[in-house]
Amino acid sequence: MSTSARGSHTPSVTMRDVAEVAGVSVATVSHVVNDKPGARIGEDARRRVQEAVASLGYRPNALAKTLSQGTSRFIGLVADQIATTPFAGQIIHGAQDEAWKHGYVLLVANTDGNDEAEAEAIAMMLEHQVHGVLYSTWYHREVVVPEALHATDTVLVGCFAAEGGLPAVVPDEEQGGRTATEELLAAGHRRIAFINTTTPSPAQTGRLAGYRSALEGAGVEFDDALVFPASPEQGGGYATTPRIVASGATAVFCHNDRVAMGLYDGLREQGLRIPEDVAVIGFDNQDVIAAHLRPPLSTVALPHYELGAAGVRILLGIDADTGSEPRLIVCPPILRQSV
Amino acid sequence: MSTSARGSHTPSVTMRDVAEVAGVSVATVSHVVNDKPGARIGEDARRRVQEAVASLGYRPNALAKTLSQGTSRFIGLVADQIATTPFAGQIIHGAQDEAWKHGYVLLVANTDGNDEAEAEAIAMMLEHQVHGVLYSTWYHREVVVPEALHATDTVLVGCFAAEGGLPAVVPDEEQGGRTATEELLAAGHRRIAFINTTTPSPAQTGRLAGYRSALEGAGVEFDDALVFPASPEQGGGYATTPRIVASGATAVFCHNDRVAMGLYDGLREQGLRIPEDVAVIGFDNQDVIAAHLRPPLSTVALPHYELGAAGVRILLGIDADTGSEPRLIVCPPILRQSV
DNA sequence: CTGAAAGCGCTTACAG
DNA sequence: CTGAAAGCGCTTACAG
C-alpha cells in the first residue's frame, strides 16, 4: 500500500476529498477537523469525517487556512549573525520553542549585518504575512531600526533602539556583574580585580556597575586600581596577568570567558593555581571554553535562550511589554570550579 | 504622513486596490507586478500600475500566491539540536543563504532529539506545503528516518540513513584525516601520533583511514602503537599526554579540537612547547577553542555551512543527488600556528 | 445538526 | 494589449 512517490509531486488530498468520502459538506469537515466549539456535529457525521481523514491521510493546508482567516501563524526572526557565534543558535532555539508552544512557526533570516539583505529579509517576511518580527543582534547593543520594520509588530532581542518606542529585551548586565562579584565575595575574597573590556557597550558599563554595587553591598571599598581595561579577548586576559598579580588581588572577575581563558594561561605561567592562589570568574558561559578549561570555569551566563523566548512572549502579548525601558533578563551564575 | 499603527493591525492593500487606483484589472496588475514574460502590457498601463504600487505601498501576499500557484517557496529544516552546538547555527546559515538565493524561505524546527517533537515538526512543515525538508543532525551519524518524511522530498544533512534511499550530504572524514596528517608530514614529521576517539562513528573510522592513507602516501609505515584511543574531550587529550610523550612522537593529530585543548595543557605541564617540541593539529575548527588557544590551533574544519548549502542544492535539484552514496563535502585545513 | 455560498488575495487560461 | 471568470483550499456567517 506504499505510495512511495515523493510527496510534493503527489496531488494532495483536500478537504473536498474528505467531504466526499465522508458524505458530508466541506463545512462539516472544517468544523470537525478544527474541533470548532460552536459547532454541533452529530456523532455519526463526526465519526465518518474522522475515518475519512485517517484513511485518506488528509492534512490541512495551513496556507489556505491563513488566507481565509486573514491571520497568520508566522513569526519572523531576522538576525545579524546566525553564524558567527554559538549564541545565536540559542536565541533561535528559545524563540522557536516558545513560538511553537503557541502554535506559531519561525521564519528565519540572516542578514550578516548587510543592509540590503536586511531589507530583503524584512520584505520577504512581510509578504509572508508574519504576525510580527523579532529583530536580533548577537551582542548587546544599540541599533537603528530599519524603516520597513515599522510596518509590522516588532520586538528587539538583545538590542535596543536609540529612539526607543520599540519593545526590547536584553540581558541584565548589571545584575550579571553583581552576581559574578558576589560569588567571589561569598568565597571570602575582598581584593577583587575586574578586567573590563575597552569596548564601549552596555556590557562595559553594566558589568562595572554591578561589580561596584556588589562591592558596596559587602562593605568593600571600590578601588579604581583594581579595574583593568583590556581587549575582550584571550590576548587581553593574558597580557593583563602580570598587573593582576602585582595588584595583590586574590580573585578576578573577567569581562568574558575568553579573557578568563587568557588569564588562565598567564596565571599558569606564573605558577599560580586556580582557584587556590587566585579565583576567577568569567562572563558569557561560552560553553566550549568554560566547560573545558582546567579547572572548569565558573561564569555568568548570557541568557540567549530566554531572550528568544521572552521576545516571542512579548510579541504575542503574553508578557506585557515594559514600555520605553527594555525588559531585563537575568544572567544566572554557572558555578564550576574556578572559584 | 506616518501611519504608525502597527502593520498587522492595518488592513493591508491588495492587488484589487492597486487595480482600482491604476484603472486596470487585477489580471493586469498581476502581470506587471510579476513581470510575466508572456504578457504584452502597454507602456501606459504598466506605468500607472507601478505608480499605484508605489503610492499605496502594495506588497504581494506570498501565501495567496502560493495557494493559487499550487507550489510553495518553503524549505523546512528539522534539526536535532539547534542549541547544543555552535555548529548547527552554521548549517542553518548555509541552508538559509542558499535557499534565499533561489527564492526560497527557511522554516526551522528544533526537535531536541525528541520523537514527538520531531513528528510535530514534520507535520507542521507538511501542512505548510514545504517544497521539501532538510533533516539534519549536529554530528555525523547514521539515523533512522521518521516515517512522516516519506511524504515529501527530503535530504539528509550531516547524517545518512541505514536503509539508504534518501539523498544525503556528509563531511568527508577520510579526506579530512588525510589532510590533517599531510600537514604534519609536510612540516617534516615522520613519527606522528593520532589520538582517536573511543566512540564508534564515521568520524572514528574515517579519520583513521585518512591518517593511514596519508602515511602510506608519504612512505611512512603505519605504527599501531602510535594511535591512542581516548575520550573525545579535553580530559581525554590531557590524560593521553604522558603516553604521547613517551612514544617519541614529534607531532600529533587529535581527533578533535577539545582533545587538542587537553593535549596543550598536558604538554605545557611537561614543559614542552608547541610547535617547537611537538606539533599538533586538531579537527572540527571549533572557533572559540581553536582560534583562542596559545598558540592558535591548526585544524581541519567541519564544513557546516557547506553542508547546509549543499543540502538545499540537492533538494532543489541544482546539484545532482549522488545516488545511494552520500555526497561528501571536503573538510578544509585551517592553518594557524601549532604546526 | 448540516449545507450552500461568499470570500481570503492571488494566478491563469481564455476571449476579445 | 487587456479583462472577466474560474480556481487554489480553506473558513465563516447565514439559512434551514
C-alpha cell at A236: 587581553
Buried (b) or exposed (e) across B218-244, using 16+ Cβ within 10 A? eebeeeeebbbebbbbbbbbbbbbeeb
> What's the CA–C1' distance between B31 and D2, in Å?
11
Output the tens digit of pLDDT for each of chain A's 339 residues: 333 334 445 568 999 999 999 999 999 999 999 887 766 788 888 999 999 999 999 999 999 999 998 888 899 999 887 655 666 678 888 999 999 999 899 998 988 888 998 999 999 999 999 999 999 988 899 999 998 898 899 999 999 998 778 999 999 999 999 999 999 999 999 999 999 999 999 999 999 999 999 999 999 999 999 999 999 999 999 999 999 999 999 999 999 999 999 999 999 999 999 999 999 999 999 877 888 788 999 999 999 999 999 999 999 999 987 777 899 999 999 999 999
Q: Classify residue A182: in a domain, yes or no.
A: yes
- The pLDDT, as a whole number, for residue A7 is 43
Mean pLDDT value across chain B = 90
Q: Is B62 on the interface with A (CB under 8 A)?
A: yes
Alpha helices in chain A (DSSP H): 15-22, 26-34, 43-56, 62-69, 86-101, 115-127, 173-186, 202-217, 234-247, 257-269, 287-290, 304-315
Question: Touching check for B331 and chain A: CB below 8 Å?
Answer: no
Render pLDDT for B139-182 as a digit per residue (tens, 0 to 9).
899 999 998 898 899 999 999 998 778 999 999 999 999 999 99
Predicted pLDDT of residue B287:
74
Q: With a CB-CB cutoff of 8 Å, which residues 173-232 of chain A face chain B?
A: none
Residue A291, pLDDT score: 82
Asked whether residue A295 falls in the same domain as residue A308, the answer is: no
Tell me whether residue A272 is exposed, middle or buried, using C-beta atoms within 10 angstroms of its C-beta: 0 to 12, 13 to 18, 19 or more: middle
Q: Distance (Å, rounded) from C-alpha A280 to C-alpha A181?
A: 10
Choose from A8, A74, A124, A131 for mutation: most chain B CBs within 10 A. A8
Residues B180 and B228 occupy one common structural domain: yes
CA quadruple B234, B240, B241, B247: dihedral sign: negative
Flag whether A65 is in a domain.
Answer: no
In chain B, % of residues over pLDDT 70: 94
Q: At residue B9, does pLDDT exceed 80?
A: no
Query: Which residue bears the cell 508566522?
Result: A74
Answer yes or no: is B67 within a domain.
no
Which protein residue has its CA closest to C1' of D13? A27
Residue A218 lies in a domain: yes
Do B222 and B234 reside in the same domain of the chain? yes
Q: How many domains, chain B? A: 3
Q: Say if residue B94 is in the same domain as residue B184.
A: no
Residue B57: CB atoms within 10 A of its CB come to 10
The reply to whether the predicted model has a pTM over 0.95 is no
CATH of the domain at A32: 1.10.260.40
Q: Judge if B293 and B322 occupy the same domain.
A: no
* CB-based contact, A89 to chain B, within 8 Å: yes
B246 pLDDT higher than 80: yes
Provide the greatest CA pair distance for chain A.
87
Picking from A60, A87, A107, the residue at the C-terminal end of a domain is: A60
Number of Cβ within a 10 Å radius of residue A59: 17
* Residues B289 and B195 reside in one and the same domain: yes
Q: CB-side exposure of A113: number of CA atoms within 13 Å? A: 7
Same-domain status, A107 and A123: yes
Q: Do A98 and A24 sit in the same domain of this protein?
A: no
Same domain for B91 and B46, yes or no, is no
Give contacts of B 235-274 with A, CB under 8 A.
238, 258, 261-262, 265, 268
Could A234 and B292 be called an inter-chain contact, meaning their C-beta atoms sit closer than 8 Å? Answer: yes
B177 and B234 in a common domain: yes
- H or E segment and range at residue B228: strand B227-230
Contact state of A105 with B85 under an 8 Å Cβ cutoff: no
Backbone angles phi, psi at A274, to 5 degrees: -115, 125
DSSP A284: B
In this structure, the protein residues whose CB atom falls closer than 7 angstroms to any atom of nucleic acid strand D are A 11-12, 14-16, 26-27, 30-31, 33-34, 36, 59-61, 64-65, 67-69; B 23-28, 31, 39-42, 44-46, 64, 67-68, 70
Q: Whats the size of chain A, residue-wise?
A: 339
Q: Which residues pair with A299 in a beta bridge?
A: A334
B67–A67: do the CB atoms touch at under 8 Å? Answer: yes
Q: How far apart are CA A141 and CA B23, in angstroms?
A: 48
DSSP B159-190: EEESS--S-EEEE-HHHHHHHHHHHHHHTT--
Same domain, B168 and B312: yes
Look at A295 and B89; give whichever has higher pLDDT: A295
Q: How far is A24 from chain B (nearest CA, A)?
A: 23
**Helix axis angle, A86-101 to A304-315, nearest 10°:** 40
* CA–C1' B50–D13 (A): 37
Of A29, A60, A91, the position where a domain reaches its end is A60
Neighbours of A91 (CB within 10 A): 30
Q: Looking at CA atoms only, how far is residue B311 from chain A in angstroms?
A: 17
| Gap from B9 CA to C6 C1', Å | 23
Kindly report the CATH number assigned to the domain that includes residue B242: 3.40.50.2300
Q: Does any domain span residue A339? A: no
Which nucleotides on strand C sit less than 7 A from a protein beta carbon? 1-5, 7-13
Cβ <8 Å between B294 and A72: no
Burial class of residue B4 in the structure, from the number of CB atoms within 10 Å of its CB (0-12 exposed, 13-18 middle, 19+ buried):
exposed
Which residues of chain A lie closer than 8 angstroms to B109, CB-CB? 96, 100, 105-106
In a domain, A66, yes or no: no
Query: Based on the domain organization, do A290 and A230 belong to the same domain?
Result: yes
Domain that holds residue A327: 74-172+304-331
Any domain includes A69: no
The pLDDT tens digits for B26-61 are: 999 999 998 877 667 888 889 999 999 999 999 999
Residue B90 maps to a domain = yes
Does an H or E element contain B64, and which?
A: helix B62-69
